[in-house]
Structure 1
Amino acid sequence: MRPNILLIMTDQQRGDCLSIEGHPVLLTPNMDSIAAQGVRFDKCYSTCPVCIPARRSLLSGQYPETHGIAGYYQEAEWEPSIALPSVLKNVGYHTYLVGRDMHQYPQKKRYGYDHTVTYPEYCEWLNSRLSHITCEPSGHYYASGVMHNDRTARPWPHDESLHYTNWTVNEAQRFLQNRDPSCPYFLTVSFLAPHPPLIPPAFYMERYIRTGVPDPVIGEWAKAPAAGGKGNPPDSADISLSGEELLSCRAAYFGLINHIDDQLSRLLRNVEADNTIVIFTSDHGEMLGDHYLFRKSVPYEPSVRVPLLISMPKRYGIKRGKVISKPVSLEDIMPTILELAGVEIPDTVEGSSLLPLMREENVSWRSFVHIEHGEGTVNFQPHHTLTDGNEKYIWFVWSGEEQFFDLRKDPRECRNVIDSEYYKDAAAGWRKILIEKLKHRPEGFTDGEKLISGMPYPAYIGRNQ
């Protein structure tokens, strides 16, 4: 009997934004329960920390170098037969996507999902509800003026039941009630939050204004924006949060996550625990003012590390509450799902199944994760980054600047020790690994002996299979 599979995905949720990780104020009891009933991977990384490539990596099991997208580039189709929903559909799964789309291109191309119910359907539903209740001409999700990359925040202006997060769970429940019971299902529940707009229902924003929020982490190496960021547009990637702006921005972000968590309670109560695998993750994180930065794409932990929680039926024999600190990535989710479901893993998949790690089998595992980001829509330098979760080496492509962080002693990346004599050999070792990793790339990042800075690095590598 093949298991049902519930893949829950938030957008832009930091890896440290779980109360089970010891967050000082954030409440996530339902997310925590998935971890407590299964396994938590506390060193899971997004190999290209921006929406489109991250989601393509998850759905294909391929690294950005292979699927061709290393930044925010939408207009590239890819072979649908290798996508996770297609593989599961071909062995009899009822496949369904609700909520935020997976950045498919074209948008309505389903890549193996039998049906998708996403943002256009939500807007139509919201408009109809608001027109009926208030005769407002538009219920557009962004009608408050707080936009999709803004640091500005305010409470959701309508009844909580009309929020995109509530609607997403409603549609997931509708599927569970109406699905084909003769076959297993693969249900992807994709939330837009906590990605901006930072508009949680009022209760959730007020909760974190009341409890207070932790201050941003500012590294010794970080540079404050000119004039403290005053005059920068609301979606600027450079930010110096303080006062009301700091409190509102961070309270709204935490509130959006807490709101999702409460809604997950409604969803998880309808799941058959004895035959359902539940996976919770996110596509990338959010800097949230740390190191004077906002949004994602940069190589720092708040941007690149994401939650990964997996629970499964008892028959798999996995020890509950286990925490695994091996370096893993979103590419590992597809082969893990397929192995758990007893489905052959296609040769196109580059990630590795996490099942041997969860079973505590004596298997070799990768020693690091390669993270990259090319030219993007924000003023961040392209970079290549290597990390094993204990150390991190960063090379900025255009300037050639390097950074090195000892995450064991400095998990918040406050001290760049690239010039430290103590870390000289470690940094040289990582640099050598990166040279080897990049020597076959078409961009010309290395001649095989040294890294070459200043090379063009387009978001679309153009190496689609």
Structure 2
Amino acid sequence: MKPNILMITVDQMRFDCLSLMGHPVVETPNLDQLAQMGVLYENAYSATPTCVPARAAIMTGMSQRSHGRVGYQDKVPWNYESTIAGELSKAGYHTQCVGKMHVFPARNLCGFHNIVLHDGYLHHNRNKSANTADSHFDQVDDYLTWLRSIGGADLDLTDLGLDCNSSTVTRPWHLDEKLHPTNWAVTQSIDFLRRRDPQKPFFLWTSFVRPHSPLDPPPVYFDMYKDIPLQDPPVGDWVEELMAAANAELEGYNPTTVFGKVPKRRLDRARAGYYALITHLDDQIGRLINSLQEYGVHRDTVILFTSDHGELLGDHHFFRKSLPYEGSAKVPFILFDGTGRLGLREGSKVSEVIELRDIMPTLLDVAGAKAPSSMDGQSVIPLGAGREVEWRTYIHGEHAYGELSHHYGTDGQDKYIWFSQTGKEQLFDLRNDSCELNNLVNEPAWQDRLYAWRARMIKELEGREEGYVDSDRLVAGRKPQTCLSHIL
């Protein structure tokens, strides 16, 4: 029989928050072991680093130019002809998603045989005053319905008073740990292992909402980190400190503010809460892997672990995601082969730059399924096996984000950023400056590389409907779009 496939995604986890990566604080023993027995892809990126476009890349294998989501916009229908679950279903797999999908409409199966949903707090689903079908949040959140059936009809996602997008405020979980959304996702995934069709291979996508805010770790995990002294986040020489200071007051009242100085005590508590959520996730992922062993399918299963995007967590006084800096755009990526059939080099690391669009072709490769022509990604299995393969030299990423709308390119060694509204450019040497502290745009020794990256960006944006390129030059000030016209 074909290998089973378990895809585990977390939401908003930084690439460097693995103890295996040398993080000075975070403990992730189960993910570390998964990487030591599998392959760690060190330069994995989310080209459009927010939830909706990142998931479009995961589910379709397309670049953002192809799937059309070049910024964050809810309530745009998902009508893709080929999806990862749909293709695996055609290939004979029993398919199930547990947790976050973040598609529209919310109960769109996207090719799965069944979905058990918890997308977290989505504002448009919670709009009780809107007379639209998608506003009935109690119909699109299976976790909340379950929680109320177990703990009481008055329980809600907002009981802790934490904002769903705040990266600066934390408070420990107030109910039994078994009621936490992270535990629930694993409980539901284990239940699928119990009731799956034993005559078919399975594709299970366990999709966690955490460590995305609210930062609500169970108390035992928060206690692990709350008193540990933390180094200050990196702040580049290009950061506008006066603007960050001016925004500090805003951050105190508006948790969604993306830029500003935050009091160190509050920021350190938030970082402790974020790290605690990751260790909690790691333990629950360990619980899920143990269940694979108990059901006798561990040696028949390929596991892929990644995140949809990162979290800036105070880097350069920025928070959340969307921006092109490493904390936001770079993600952890691990591939483990319990079957031994893929020829992966156990414990190896891959330096080639990969992207979320590579997930669908990778898993179709695992299944021996036919790849649809719509995919832009490539299977990462040959890289993990050490085979010779023609691979991309860089990726192009972007995000519509108001004045901070941008396009970026990276090969894992350099990073070039062009801010489409202002025309500002940044260039970083990631080999020697992984924290992106020094902008090299004006350095004489880097001018050739700057011109080369600019030429690449012109090539990537040529013909785009926004009009970013004219007469072989980048044109600033064109209105950015969150979605390209072909999907609207």
**If the TM-score is normalised by the length of the shorter chain, which range does it land in?**
over 0.9
Which residue of the partner structure matches residue 197 of structure 2?
180
Which residue of the partner structure matches residue 396 of structure 2?
370
User: Secondary structure at the residue paired with 2:426?
Assistant: strand
Pick one of 333, 343, 347 that aligns with 1:317: 343
Residue 265 in structure 1 maps to residue 286 in structure 2: yes
Q: Once superposed, what is the RMSD of the aligned Cα atoms?
A: 1.3
Residue 389 in structure 1 maps to residue 412 in structure 2: yes
**Counterpart of 1:208 in structure 2: which amino acid?**
Y
Q: 1:264-312, CA deviations, whole angstroms, 9 ceiling, x for partnerless residues?
A: 1110012223210000000000000110000100010000000110001
Separation in structure 2 between the aligned mates of residue 63 and residue 316 of structure 1, nearest angstrom: 25
**Counterpart of 2:37 in structure 1: which amino acid?**
Q
Separation in structure 1 between the aligned mates of residue 465 and residue 247 of structure 2, nearest angstrom: 39
Which residue of the partner structure matches residue 447 of structure 2?
424
State which drifts further: 151-160 or 387-396.
Answer: 151-160
State which drifts further: 78-87 or 326-335.
Answer: 78-87
Offset, 1:374? 1.2
Separation in structure 2 between the aligned mates of residue 164 and residue 251 of structure 1, nearest angstrom: 19
Which residue of the partner structure matches residue 136 of structure 2?
none
Separation in structure 1 between the aligned mates of residue 367 and residue 471 of structure 2, nearest angstrom: 41
Pick one of 249, 256, 260 that aligns with 1:230: 249
User: Secondary structure at the residue paired with 2:149?
Assistant: helix
The 1:70–1:124 alpha-carbon spacing in structure 2 relative to 1, beyond 3 Å, is same
User: Secondary structure at the residue paired with 2:291?
Assistant: coil
Which residue of the partner structure matches residue 281 of structure 1?
306
Regions of 4+ moved over 4 Å: none
Offset, 1:125? 1.3
Offset, 1:243? 2.9
Which residue of the partner structure matches residue 404 of structure 1?
427
State which drifts further: 233-242 or 89-98.
Answer: 233-242
**Counterpart of 1:234 in structure 2: which amino acid?**
P
What are the within-5 Å matches in structure 2 for residues 64-79 of structure 1?
64-79=64-79
User: Secondary structure at the residue paired with 2:468?
Assistant: coil
Which residue of the partner structure matches residue 106 of structure 1?
105
Which residue of the partner structure matches residue 134 of structure 1?
none
The gaps in structure 1 that reach 5 residues or longer are 132-136
Pick one of 248, 255, 271 that aligns with 2:276: 255
Q: 1:353-387, CA deviations, whole angstroms, 9 ceiling, x for partnerless residues?
A: 11221221122210001110014xxx551101000
**Counterpart of 2:26 in structure 1: which amino acid?**
L
1:149 touches 1:197 (CA, 8 Å); kept in 2?
Answer: yes
Separation in structure 2 between the aligned mates of residue 177 and residue 361 of structure 1, nearest angstrom: 37
Residue 138 in structure 1 maps to residue 154 in structure 2: yes
User: Secondary structure at the residue paired with 1:279?
Assistant: strand
**Counterpart of 1:105 in structure 2: which amino acid?**
F
Residue 148 in structure 1 maps to residue 164 in structure 2: yes
State TM-score, norm by structure 1. Answer: 0.96
Residue 240 in structure 1 maps to residue 261 in structure 2: yes
Residue 87 in structure 1 maps to residue 106 in structure 2: no
Separation in structure 2 between the aligned mates of residue 458 and residue 81 of structure 1, nearest angstrom: 23
1:99 touches 1:117 (CA, 8 Å); kept in 2?
Answer: yes
Q: 1:334-364, CA deviations, whole angstroms, 9 ceiling, x for partnerless residues?
A: 0011011111111011101112212211222
Separation in structure 2 between the aligned mates of residue 382 and residue 73 of structure 1, nearest angstrom: 14
State TM-score, norm by structure 2. Answer: 0.91
Identity of aligned residues (%): 39
1:104 touches 1:110 (CA, 8 Å); kept in 2?
Answer: no
2:403 touches 2:421 (CA, 8 Å); kept in 1?
Answer: no
**Counterpart of 2:5 in structure 1: which amino acid?**
I
Which residue of the partner structure matches residue 340 of structure 1?
366
Separation in structure 1 between the aligned mates of residue 330 and residue 471 of structure 2, nearest angstrom: 29
